[in-house]
Amino acid sequence: MHPFRRAVEAGDLAALEALFADDAVFTSPVVFKPYEGKAITAAIVRGAARVFQDIRYVREIVSADGRDHALIFKATVNGLQVHGCDFLHLDGDGLIDDLTVMVRPLSAAKALAEAMGAQFEQIEREVSGAQTQGAEVP
């Protein structure tokens, strides 16, 4: 079982954030442009943790070299059943440098887009806070 799956299922957000490379890229199922950087990727994943209810992984597929993982899940968003997949790519250090999420059906994707849209003000505050904490003080 990949540590990402273990952390999601346990609701361990600190462990999740520790799995991302600094140059991680998050590709959303509902937004065209990918989000770049660990801070925004981690903040989006925290937002998703607030939106998805009853998430459970039903299958995990791993490439022969162990650097690509497909984690198939089922969850609920605003009362709608969501089927999806988290595609992970690991860098040379074993950190996630690419996370792509796909979901179906369309009604659930629309519900997810709406629910995540409602999270984005908080996500932006979290990213601003992370960047402020990481800034050097003169």
Summarize pLDDT for 16-71 with one digit per residue, the tens: 999 999 999 999 998 889 999 999 999 999 999 999 999 999 999 999 999 999 99
Number of structural domains found in the chain = 1
For residue 82, being part of any structural domain is answered with yes
Does any domain span residue 135? no
CATH number at residue 75: 3.10.450.50
Task: Show the tokens assigned to 39.
Answer: 């801070």
Reported pTM: 0.87
Segment 110-127, tens digit of pLDDT: 999 888 888 878 888 888
Amino acid letter, 43:
A
Determine, yes or no, domain membership for 138: no
Angstrom distances, CA of residue 56 to CA of 20, 123, 131: 21, 23, 32
Which one has a higher pLDDT value, 106 or 115?
Answer: 106
